[in-house]
Amino acid sequence: MTLLSLLDMIGTFAFALTGALVAVRKEMDLYGILLLSFVTAIGGGTTRDLLLGNTPVFFLNQPSYFYISLLAGFCTFLFHKELFKINSIILILDALGLGLFVCVGVSIALSAHISFTGAVILGVVTGTVGGIIRDLLAGEIPTVLVKDFYALICVVGGILYVYLHHLNVPHDITLLVSASVIFFLRLAAIKLKWNFVKASRSSLLQ
């Protein structure tokens, strides 16, 4: 197994856990937990594959991703009380999955000989679409649209990956460094409350 495949599976499990935990928080039943676990884990990669014309999409040819997401859902169903005892567990797992998925997306795009700009875009797509679907199904505004420099951090990490790739830095080092930067930037944004400027409600009422 390559490092890319390993990190992709770790990211799948982490993102699947966030979907399942959100479902538990919304008091969904087992089906809802498994569904949110699955769509959160595969949403970004599926969209990336469709944009690249890679069909059938990855999880249909590699069912291990399907089983990993179901495992995460069942684990959350059985042990959600213990998981929620970990402070900010959803945010930590989301940051981990985000870092891994963005880098996996950029790597796959570059392997398909996509332009550097296109590779960054597909990295952002891979890292964010699953979370967007999760939040929408849970009746929430997607995190990427409202706080914590979410999308910008993906772009920064994607550009870093492309830059290291351009410098011919070894692939595994490029993956680990870029994913780590995204992970820690995401946690810093949450901790320090970094946000884009928003339109004030008062100005909308005038």
Tell me the CA distances in angstroms from 156 to 142, 151, 178, 191, 199, one per residue in order.
Answer: 20, 9, 9, 18, 24
C-alpha dist (Å) from residue 38 to 69, 126, 128: 5, 14, 14
Q: What is the pLDDT of residue 202?
A: 57
User: 54-108, pLDDT tens digit by residue?
Assistant: 999 999 999 999 999 999 999 999 998 888 888 788 888 989 999 999 999 999 9
Determine the pLDDT at residue 138: 95
Per-residue pLDDT reduced to its tens digit, 20-53: 999 999 999 999 999 999 999 999 999 999 999 9
- Is 156 exposed, middle or buried (CB count within 10 Å of its CB: 0-12, 13-18, 19+)? middle
CA gap 179, 111 in Å, rounded: 18
CA gap 16, 66 in Å, rounded? 10
pLDDT at 205 over 80: no
More confident residue, 197 or 55: 55
Average pLDDT on 142-158 reads: 87
Share of the chain above pLDDT 70, in %: 94
| Domain residue extents for the chain | 3-195
pLDDT the model gives residue 58: 93
